[in-house]
Amino acid sequence: MTLLHATAISKRYGGLMALSEVDFRVAPGEFVAVIGPNGAGKSTFLNVLTGLTPPSAGRVLFDGRDVTRAPTHRRIRAGLGRTFQHGRLFARLSVLENVMTGAAIRTDRTESQLRALSLGMLDRMGLVGEAHRAVGSLSYGQRRMVELCRALACGPKLLLLDEPAAGLNLGEVEQLMARLTALRAEQELAVVLIEHNMGMVMRLAQRILVLNFGCRIAEGSPAEVQSDPAVLSAYLGEGYGNAQH
Amino acid sequence: MRRYHSLLAAVAILALGGLLSLVLADYRLRLLNVSVISAIAVIGFNFAFGLAGLISLGHAAFVGLGAYTLAILSTAFGWSPWLAIPVAILVTTLFAGLIGYPLLRLRGHYLALATLGLNVSFTIVVTNWISLTGGTNGISGIPELRLGAFAFNDERRFLWLGLVLLALCAAFAVTLQRSRYGRAMMAVRDDETAARMTGIDVTRVKITALCLSAAFAALSGTLFATHVRFVAPEDFNYAHSIIYLAMLIVGGEGAVAGAVIGAALLTFLPEWLRFLGDAYLAFFGLMLLAILIFLPTGLVGLAAQLRRLGGHREAETTS
Ligand SMILES: Nc1ncnc2c1ncn2[C@@H]1O[C@H](COP(=O)(O)OP(=O)(O)O)[C@@H](O)[C@H]1O
Ligand SMILES: [Mg+2]
């Protein structure tokens, strides 16, 4: 069964092919990582999947429906969730209100249900003490966790995370990994993780897609991708490949 | 706790306004009526500008559309003004919804310019559609509002009616602002893309905010028409839109209390500063500049800052 099925996605920016004919599938509950050097097209790929950027060619099926032309909010209501590479919180809302905005995706929830659900989510992520603070007063790592809470409060079936560990310290990265793992143990949640932190990718991902210059250059289990010569030279660099031998 | 806030706003308006209605002289009461009528428009403007971040400079056109609809229905067609009020609000809200679709594709400065254009167009239309609007002569003879034998035909009586409506509007606005709808509007203002990513239909939220602001504006316009009992094009020209904006910024954008305080202050200020003569406009400009630079959250923001400061002092003395 396939939850997300993207076929032959291309995206052209002027003369630049940010994505060329990328095929990608995610099964329900699966954890897939997308890696690749800076500028490889990873964020662009998420933009296409979430409807922020229309693809130049290709199709996106989500949960059995063709959403290629669906506006973003419809895709989110259908069960897609996302966080951003450069953190995007609602600056004038408190931490709790940010998460409540996500929880409000279900219109049948009362105000007190929204509040309880969001506080529960913050509690899970170790942020309940910050619930009434302004988001501007949080640390960088806390902000990223609040954004994650907000996305989770929408109740996604598939969560797209764009470099969630960038700018986090080692302890925060450990926490993030532990919480993602705990969450997935409780509910069926598929994750697509874009990440440069290879330790995190290798520990969490069941499958890895490697992009370079907008093209899929490899896909497979962490072990397969790790020893793929194309990946070693393109992404990890020749130096890394040599050091392995 | 949250239900308190709306009740508190309503009680505060009724208590303070009611008290003033008993002690002030007629001329001051007239100014208070103007404040109350403006405050309703500015509370509406706060939905569009303060919450959803729509930079609109055409709010006076919605006030005018409400006022003229009531004026025309109650004079040319002989309707009861009570019946004309909801119809005027409905007409104005529908108009805002229709015009919102093309208008709200624009953002920032472009939206400001387009709404300013809307206001100028409104003035041109009501000035030149003489058979319907009376042109520059305006429409006079608008009937007074009355409940049975009780006519709201002097300043004190009209103020009571205005205060009740303002209290209801404020309570509604406070409730809405603290609900999922208010949060969605603020989310759209803060970050449209992130708002979409929480399932918010950004276009719909913006249109809703514009329609709400137009509905409040129309109510304000119908009150204006039944208070002065005369409407003319210059009552609703773009300068009034800029005054609504100034009222909201001085009082504190994003806050219902700010809308009310700003409306009252900017109505009374010219009278208090009458001794300045022509220098008043220079003073007004400088005051606005100072508030924009030093108090971007307006007087309501200043009050919050002072409270925090007072809190710190107390904490220091007790420790
Ligand atoms: N909106 C845009 N307009 C033009 N070029 C873009 C745009 N977004 C991304 N690009 C280009 O597409 C390529 C892929 O970018 P991106 O998806 O951000 O890479 P990654 O996330 O893998 O680092 C880059 O060369 C980038 O400059
Ligand atoms: Mg990126």
Nearest to B81 by CA among B135, B156, B153, B21: B153
- CA–centroid distance, residue A18 to ligand 1 (Å): 6
Contacts of residue A93 in chain B, CB cutoff 8 Å?
183, 186-187, 190
Exposed, middle or buried, A242 (CB in 10 Å: 0-12/13-18/19+)?
exposed
How far is the C-alpha of B147 from the C-alpha of B170, rounded, in Å? 23
Q: Give the per-residue pLDDT at B318.
A: 40
Strands A207-212 and A4-13, bridge-based pairing: unpaired
Question: What is the bridge-based pairing of β-strands A57-62 and A4-13?
Answer: antiparallel
**Inter-chain touch B189–A111, beta carbons under 8 Å:** no
Residue reference for tokens 């995206």: A11
pLDDT 10s digits, A35-67: 999 999 999 999 999 999 999 999 999 999 999
Tell me whether residues A101 and B187 touch, CB distance under 8 A: yes
Rounded to the nearest angstrom, the distance between the alpha carbon of A30 and the centre of ligand 1 is 26
Which residue in A50, A147, A139, A145 sits closest to A98, CA to CA?
Answer: A147
Alpha-carbon gap, residue A115 to B101, rounded angstroms: 33
Q: Do A90 and B179 touch (CB under 8 A)?
A: no
Inform me whether the C-beta atom of residue A5 falls under 8 Å from chain B C-beta atoms: no
Structural element, H or E, at residue A191: strand A190-194
> Chain B residues with CB-CB distance to A under 8 A?
2, 179-180, 183-184, 186-187, 189-191, 193-202, 254
Distance CA B286, CA B280 (A): 10
pLDDT of residue A48: 97
Higher pLDDT, B284 or A82: A82
Q: What angle do CA A126, A132, A134 make, to 5 degrees?
A: 100
H or E stretch covering B253: none
Give the residue with greater pLDDT, B309 vs A104: A104
- Our answer on whether the CB atom of A102 is closer than 6 Å to any ligand 1 atom is no
Pairing of strands A31-35, A190-194: parallel
Question: Could you give the CA distance from residue B268 to residue B285 in angstroms, rounded to a whole number?
Answer: 16
> Looking at CA atoms only, how far is residue A235 from chain B in angstroms?
30
**Which residue is closest to B194 within chain A, CA to CA?**
A88
Six token digits for residue B70: 């009531």
Say if A141 is an interface residue toward chain B (CB within 8 Å): no
Span B186-207, pLDDT tens digits: 999 999 999 999 999 999 999 9
For an interface test with B, give the residue of A62, A73, A107, A146 to mutate (most B CBs within 10 A): A73
Among protein residues, the one whose CA lies closest to atom 26 of ligand 1: A39
CB of A20 closer than 6 angstroms to any ligand 1 atom: no
Inter-chain contact B198–A101, Cβ cutoff 8 Å?
Answer: yes
- Report pLDDT digits (tens) over A12-36: 999 999 999 999 999 999 999 999 9
Do B183 and A97 lie within an 8 Å CB cutoff? yes
The pLDDT value recorded for residue B2 is 55
Residue A245 has pLDDT above 50, yes or no: no
Neighbouring-strand partners of residue A212: A215
Q: Most A CBs within 10 Å: which of B180, B183, B198, B297, as the mutation test of the A interface? A: B198
A41 lines ligand 1 (CB under 6 A): yes
Contact (Cβ atoms closer than 8 angstroms) between residue B124 and residue B133: no
Cα B107 from Cα B90, distance rounded (Å): 26
Pocket test for ligand 1, best of A12, A34, A38, A44 (most atoms within 8 A of CB): A44
Q: Which atom of ligand 1 is nearest to the CA of A214?
A: 14
Q: Which residues contact B89 (CB under 8 A, 6 or more apart)?
A: B66, B215, B218, B219, B222
Residue A240 pLDDT level (bands cut at 50, 70, 90): very low
Can you read off the two tokens belonging to residue B120?
Answer: 């100028």
pLDDT at A177: 93
Would the pLDDT of B102 be above 60? yes
Domains along chain A with CATH numbers: 4-79+156-244 (3.40.50.300), 89-149 (no CATH)
| φ/ψ of residue B186, rounded to 5 | -65, -35
Least confident residue range of A135-139, A202-206, A208-212, B151-155 = B151-155
Do the Cβ atoms of A105 and B186 come within 8 Å? no
Contact call for A76 and B190, based on CB within 8 A: no
pTM of the complete model? 0.91
Helices (H), B178-277: 180-190, 192-196, 202-228, 238-251, 256-272
Q: Is B313 exposed, middle or buried (0-12, 13-18, 19+ CB in 10 A)?
A: exposed
Residue A80: which of A48, A55, A36, A110 has the closest Cα?
A48
- Tokens standing for residue B5: 């806030």
Give the pLDDT confidence of B2-48 residue by residue, as tens digits. 568 888 888 888 888 888 888 888 889 999 999 999 999 999 999 99
ipTM: 0.91
The residues, any chain, with a CB within 8 Å of residue B222's CB and separated by 6 or more, are: B66, B67, B69, B70, B81, B84, B85, B88, B89
Contact B201, B14 (CB under 8 A): no
Domain ranges of chain B: 2-239
Instruction: Give Dmax over CA atoms of chain A in angstroms.
Output: 60
CB nearest to B196's CB, from A72, A91, A93: A72
Write the DSSP symbol of residue B143. P
- Report the range out of A169-173, A233-237, B179-183 with the highest average pLDDT: B179-183
Provide φ and ψ at B123, rounded to 5°.
Answer: -60, -45
Distance CA B72, CA B70 (A): 6
Band of residue B78 on the pLDDT scale cut at 50, 70, 90: very high
Task: Measure in Å the smallest separation between the Cα of B314 and chain A Cα atoms.
Answer: 21
Contact A90 B196 (CB under 8 A): no
* Ligand 1 touching residue A42 (CB < 6 A): yes
Give the closest residue to B261 by CA, choosing from B246, B278, B276, B275.
Answer: B246
* Position B250 pLDDT exceeds 50: yes
Residues B203 and B210: beta-carbon distance below 8 Å: no
- pLDDT score of A235: 63
How far, in Å, CA of A80 to CA of A190, rounded? 10
Which residues are CB-neighbours of B284 under 8 A, at least 6 positions away? B269, B270
Query: B34 to chain A nearest CA, in Å?
Result: 32
